[in-house]
Amino acid sequence: MAEYSDKQVQIMEMAEILFAEKGFNGTSIREIAKKARVNLAMISYYFGSKDKLLEALFNYRGEYIKLKLESMIQDKQLSSMEKMNTLIDHYIDKIMSQQSFHRIMVREQVLNHTGTTAELIFQMKKRNQELISRLIHDGQKKGDFKKNIDIPLMMATLIGTANSIVSTQYYYREINNLQSMPDEDFHKHIRKKLSQHLKKLFKAILTNEE
């Protein structure tokens, strides 16, 4: 896993906020330097260019989930469904804790299908899907999961549902009359509801159990 200094992480996290708000093309290196409170030369020294900065951000955010998935797949103590439930909780936590990054993912997938960001998103999705496919195929070999699972559609259900609820949580809160609930309690509530809903849904998709 790539090691980044505190200053590099600071620059990437400030760039992430700006990319989420204004898009990759709409954000300048000067704006990133100002928000990160560093000079332009420092960004050039650490990353070389805005494209390379974005690539580093994707490596920084993507490497952790890759290692997490690899470790989980190799865990002999967990059943196939326990692995899937762990995966669901991990994605929910990731989306809730990295909302700016996931806004970049959603925004760029809608607006741009070519260029640096599109290629980075494609490579990240491809790599994660290959690992999740291994998890599901292992479960199918053991007879735990059904055959003919549409893995891209299943992952779109997971990520799309979690992203939608997290990014529009204000509406969820209003519709369900939860305005008076403290923020911390509300975030625990929404995480629990998402986790229960997706686990129930995935059990129906993957197994023959009711």
At residue 85, does pLDDT exceed 70? yes
Nearest CA-CA partner of 104 in 92, 93, 90, 116: 116
Specify the pLDDT at position 2: 63
Specify the pLDDT at position 115: 74
Looking at per-residue pLDDT, the higher value among 75 and 112 belongs to: 75
At residue 133, does pLDDT exceed 70? yes
Specify the pLDDT at position 209: 64
* pLDDT classification of 121: cutoffs 50, 70, 90: confident
Mean pLDDT (the chain, rounded): 88
At residue 1, does pLDDT exceed 70? no
Specify the pLDDT at position 180: 92
In this structure, is residue 95 part of a structural domain?
yes
In this structure, is residue 148 part of a structural domain?
yes
Specify the pLDDT at position 41: 92
Specify the pLDDT at position 112: 66
In this structure, is residue 145 part of a structural domain?
yes
In this structure, is residue 69 part of a structural domain?
yes
Specify the pLDDT at position 167: 84
In this structure, is residue 94 part of a structural domain?
yes
Give the three-state DSSP class for 32: helix
Q: Is-contact 194 159, C-beta < 8 A?
A: no
Average pLDDT value for residue range 34-40: 93
Segments forming the whole domain that contains residue 145:
60-206
In this structure, is residue 7 part of a structural domain?
no
In this structure, is residue 21 part of a structural domain?
no
As for how many domains the chain has, the answer is 1
Q: Is-contact 155 129, C-beta < 8 A?
A: yes
Specify the pLDDT at position 55: 87
Specify the pLDDT at position 79: 93
Q: Is-contact 151 138, C-beta < 8 A?
A: no
Q: What's the token pair of residue 129? A: 């899907």
At residue 141, does pLDDT exceed 80? yes
Average pLDDT value for residue range 163-171: 88
Total-model pTM:
0.81
DSSP 3-state percent helix, strand, coil across the chain (nearest 5): 75, 0, 25
In this structure, is residue 161 part of a structural domain?
yes
**At 161, which CATH number?**
1.10.357.10
